[in-house]
Structure 1
């Protein structure tokens, strides 16, 4: 199962649990004296589970199919449209579940359904709004903001990716800014899914650059960013003809990978975000810049290379120490590429200090 699927399933489970709890609470608050509280709570929880499973499931896994086009609409319009569409699921649950539990006739205008509809729509609107916000800023960022994980700055060990599209200024001048924005949006949507599939988290988009991170862990887990870069290249190669046809250009990218400590914490007043600061972030950006002069589109720092297991089929080739902009000491860099048949892939072994 891919990393993006795991994240979506976790978000689905959380939303379903919250909806079930809300449904049970509402059912108990509206309970009539002639029914048991356990059955009422179970009925409310079932309604919440059915509604949220359908709504959140479609929102998370139905992209590009049933409701994928609504993402291109303004935020408020998309939320309202989805809420109306989901009304069908709400009405079905409110009619069928009471029939199953209490034998209530299958009538859409039964007594008390107006209040049930109002509550269900209110909860749905909140849930869909949270889901849309999660898709806007990332589920991890939303969870961290809600839980206050980074209310106070904390230092963490992370792998940092800086990925930059090649020739953006020239492309924008040739195809126009509006068309370039559409190209950028579709490209980053594609690449961000690859990042998530490889267990990473997109930190932010800065102009024509994508910044992503992974927790620094075991050598096997530290190999995921390496696999991610080749998977991103494959994804762009596969999507290239379509991007060229729709937007007039087939994009390529440069990327730099580094690992080390970063400070993560909330910043801002009315508009808050989680910022990542530190030398590791700066160095990763400088490594991406070095791709231009080194003649290699994918570069990995020796720091990360020494702590990552190199998957079979990939090869890291040292290009020697490089004096990065703003640095006083050189940093060994490795070019990442696919290994040719019969070459030394160094698959399954750490690179650092062994070359």
Structure 2
């Protein structure tokens, strides 16, 4: 099932006041500690740190071959391999994949490969000198210099190959590549996930105003800017679709530490941070809407000549419906009741909107507006009343 199969049912008005005797669960604090975004952690190592370690290890292995295969004798080759691998690995993770490296990631692939190759070559030359210094064989550098006309072309060729491999891995996604290689989803697997749909508001009108090429540049920058906040808080980009994307979290990962809500807050932060640049390039700052739902999905490999990992089930359709509800209510983010009940949102940032009728689902589904940090008041304020659903009651 895909979002295109959804039917736009009418969305009811916000629920009227319920009896004040309805007993909600313990109030969720809206204190500073609750709203503060922290790096998601699993055990002793945070999720983001684990991803960094994997990326560094991958780059270290790939580029250690550059030093090991182009340096003799063996002891110098091993020393060179370690220093080059670690040097490039740290450069890749803490510069190229950081905010500072956005300019390199955003430029034409051939130009970025050229610059990256020059950096790897420089690291190779520095490592070569350090290895001879550490091993106390400075006089051996004379022989190394005489071999440079032969070794440097090899270094450049191996560097280009290594850089292309790294780019392919990042293009596919390290986790997706791993699952495809080991066959995790060769047979369908039932898993509990949370899915987030995000779309840019008013993209059709923007296309008419800006023109096709400028709109494409705007959408490209928008997708570039919203990807990092999602992956930084444990989400995976499942699919880019038009002017938006679908992100997926494992249920436990999304709930623990409110990582999904922190990701939504970080999305707003990213757009505010990049606002001046949007104004400079396009004369406007795009806004977006979000819909979130979670539940059981079937995860399985799909395709033949080009394989991918697909997610199937009503959960993905309902998540798309939540995004449509955000548009209909004129709010930034809508959570299904099931998701809102599982997360620990501050009480002053979660507002019950009413019940949503979903095609194929017999009972109406409660939905809520989530107000990210720095967001203005939304649809709940227009009602100006207490709204309630069985599991919570907040002042709109």
Q: Is the 8 A contact 1:165 1:209 kept in 2?
A: yes
Q: Is the 8 A contact 1:141 1:274 kept in 2?
A: yes
1:13 counterpart = 2:13: no
1:255 counterpart = 2:290: yes
Task: Quickly say closer, same or farther: Cα 1:113–1:263, change in 2 above 3 A.
Answer: farther
State how far apart, in whole Å, the 2-side matches of 1:329 and 1:76 are: 54
Task: Quickly say closer, same or farther: Cα 1:328–1:81, change in 2 above 3 A.
Answer: same
Q: After alignment, is 271-280 or 169-178 more displaced?
A: 271-280
Listed one character per residue, the Cα deviations across residues 62-121 of structure 1 (whole Å, up to 9, x for unaligned) are: 247876434344434533442244212123323431453361522374566677556644
1:56 counterpart = 2:100: no
What is the match of residue 35 of structure 1? none
1:101 counterpart = 2:145: no
Of 76, 79, 83, the residue aligned with 1:46 is 79
What is the match of residue 322 of structure 1? 356
Q: After alignment, is 179-188 or 51-60 more displaced?
A: 51-60
Q: Is the 8 A contact 1:287 1:324 kept in 2?
A: no
Count the aligned residue pairs: 333
Alignment gaps of 5+ in structure 2: 1-38, 41-46, 375-388
Alignment gaps of 5+ in structure 1: 33-39, 341-350
Secondary structure of 2:301's counterpart equals: strand
What is the match of residue 170 of structure 1? 205
Once the two structures are TM-superposed, the CA of residue 336 in structure 1 deviates from its matched residue by 0.8
Q: After alignment, is 288-297 or 70-79 more displaced?
A: 70-79
Task: Quickly say closer, same or farther: Cα 1:171–1:243, change in 2 above 3 A.
Answer: same
Once the two structures are TM-superposed, the CA of residue 168 in structure 1 deviates from its matched residue by 0.6
State how far apart, in whole Å, the 1-side matches of 2:88 and 2:217 are: 28
Listed one character per residue, the Cα deviations across residues 5-27 of structure 1 (whole Å, up to 9, x for unaligned) are: 5422321133324555x479759
Higher relative contact order (CA 8 A, sep 6+): 2
Q: How does 1:60-209 map to 2 (within 5 A)?
A: 60-63=93-96, 68-101=102-135, 103=137, 104-107=139-142, 109-110=144-145, 117=152, 120-209=155-244
The alignment's TM-score, normalised by the length of structure 1, stands at: 0.80
Q: Is the 8 A contact 1:46 1:97 kept in 2?
A: yes
Secondary structure of 1:180's counterpart equals: helix
The alignment's TM-score, normalised by the length of structure 2, stands at: 0.73
Once the two structures are TM-superposed, the CA of residue 257 in structure 1 deviates from its matched residue by 0.7
Of 332, 342, 345, the residue aligned with 1:307 is 342
Listed one character per residue, the Cα deviations across residues 122-164 of structure 1 (whole Å, up to 9, x for unaligned) are: 5433331222123333333333334443333322211110001
What is the match of residue 284 of structure 1? 319
State how far apart, in whole Å, the 2-side matches of 1:339 and 1:140 are: 30
Listed one character per residue, the Cα deviations across residues 246-287 of structure 1 (whole Å, up to 9, x for unaligned) are: 122211111011111222233223333222222111110111
Task: Quickly say closer, same or farther: Cα 1:74–1:303, change in 2 above 3 A.
Answer: same
Secondary structure of 1:243's counterpart equals: helix
Q: Is the 8 A contact 2:200 2:244 kept in 1?
A: yes
State how far apart, in whole Å, the 1-side matches of 2:355 and 2:347 are: 25
CA RMSD after TM alignment: 3.2
